[in-house]
Chain A
Amino acid sequence: MDGNAVYFEDVDIGDEITPLPMNPTHETIAAYVKACGITEKRFTDEAYARSLGMDGIIAPGNMGLAYLSRMLNDWAQGAVLRKLEVRFRGFVKPGDRLTCKGLIVEKHARGSANSIECDVFIENEHGDRPVAGSATVLLPTRG
Chain B
Amino acid sequence: MVEFDQSILGKEFVLGTFQVTEDMMRAFAQAVGETCPQYIDPEAAQHTPSGGLVAPPIFYDVFRADQLPDPKVKFGKVGFNAGQRCEFYTPIRPGDTITMKTRITDVYEKTGRTGKMVFIVRETSYENQLGEKVAVVEQSQVRRESGASRD
Contact = CB atoms under 8 A, between A and B. Distances in A.
Interface of A: 1, 3, 28, 31-32, 34-39, 52-54, 60-63, 65-67, 69-70, 73-74, 77-78, 80-91, 133, 140
Contacts of B85: 83-85
Contact of B30 (A31, A73, A81): A31
7 contacts: A3-B48, A28-B31, A34-B31, A54-B147, A83-B85, A85-B83, A86-B84
B27 A34 contact: yes
A66 B32 contact: yes
Contacts of A34: 27, 31
A38 to B, nearest CB: 7
Contact of B64 (A32, A38, A85): A38
Q: Can you list the 5 inter-chain pairs with the closest CB atoms, starting with the nearest?
A: A53-B147, A61-B81, A35-B31, A66-B58, A1-B35
B43 interface: no
Nearest to B82: A88
Given A70-B32, A78-B49, 6 more contacts: A35-B27, A35-B28, A65-B58, A66-B61, A88-B84, A91-B150
Nearest to A83: B87
Interface residues of B, number: 37
Nearest to A21: B33
Contacts of B33: 70
B35 A74 contact: yes
Nearest to B86: A84
Interface in B23-69: 24, 27-28, 30-39, 48-49, 56-58, 61-62, 64
Contacts, number: 106
Nearest to A53: B147
Interface of B: 24, 27-28, 30-39, 48-49, 56-58, 61-62, 64, 77-78, 80-88, 146-148, 150-151
Given A31-B30, A35-B30, A78-B49, A90 B57 contact: no
B58 A73 contact: no
A127 to B, nearest CB: 17
Contacts of B87: 82-83
A4 to B, nearest CB: 9
Contacts of B77: 52-53
A78 B36 CA distance: 10
Nearest to B91: A80
B147 A52 contact: yes
A34 B26 CA distance: 12
Given A77-B36, A81-B88, A69 B58 contact: yes
A80 B39 CA distance: 12
Contacts of B24: 35
A40 B131 CA distance: 31
